[in-house]
């Protein structure tokens, strides 16, 4: 199976495939983030307050959107070429965010624990070719999941961390 791994250096995240950096992400949870992928620069961010969605633009044109059903945990990721993927949050057994093509799970983010300290786990969950679409889905996941991870892992509610570490 192909693998990808996020590496953090200062304010940047790099998605590596073992031999090269495939994505450079400058994450800005309070504003727009930048994505460098295949020598192309994208901008990503959130829009909306009560039921926020996410977007990725290139040269001002929206190329990918992520929208959730109102109060729902299932989202739909639409590419400008017409492809649609789904994602969903699940908190049973610890917080997870999973991405699907139809019924096939492609990748997953989760909160894990090493030495009773929270860590962000990312994995490709189905043997697949690492395409631009997979790289964008992985980057979307990092943009959407990382703020949840940091709020849970480093927030003021240590009771949640203790309970999650016991799972």
Q: Please, how many CA atoms are within 13 Å of residue 72, restricted to the half-sphere of its CB?
A: 12
pLDDT in tens, 73-83: 788 999 998 99
> How many structural domains comprise the chain?
1
- Which pLDDT score, from 0 to 100, does residue 21 have? 95
Q: How far is CA 59 from the centre of its chain?
A: 22
**Domain limits for position 126:** 5-165
pLDDT in tens, 90-107: 877 778 889 999 999 999
Quick one: residue 48, left, alpha or beta (phi over 0 = left, psi -120 to 50 = alpha)?
A: left
pLDDT in tens, 127-136: 778 899 999 9
**Total-model pTM:** 0.83
- Which pLDDT score, from 0 to 100, does residue 155 have? 64
- Which pLDDT score, from 0 to 100, does residue 72 have? 62
């Amino acid at each position: 199976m192909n693998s990808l791994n996020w590496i953090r250096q200062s304010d940047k995240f790099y998605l590596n495939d073992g031999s090269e950096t495939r994505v450079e992400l400058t994450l800005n949870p309070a504003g727009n983030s930048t994505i460098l992928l295949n020598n192309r620069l994208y901008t990503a961010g959130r829009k909306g307050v009560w039921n926020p969605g996410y977007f990725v633009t290139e040269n001002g044109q929206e190329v990918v959107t992520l929208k959730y059903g109102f109060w729902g945990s299932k989202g739909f990721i639409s590419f400008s070429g017409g492809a649609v993927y789904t994602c969903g949050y699940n908190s049973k057994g610890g917080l997870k965010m999973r991405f699907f093509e139809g019924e096939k799970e492609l990748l997953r983010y989760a909160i894990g624990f090493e030495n009773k300290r929270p860590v962000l786990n990312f994995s490709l969950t189905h043997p697949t070719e690492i395409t631009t679409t997979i790289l964008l889905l992985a980057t979307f996941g990092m943009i959407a999941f990382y703020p949840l991870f940091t709020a849970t892992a480093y927030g003021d509610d240590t009771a949640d961390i203790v309970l999650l570490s016991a799972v």
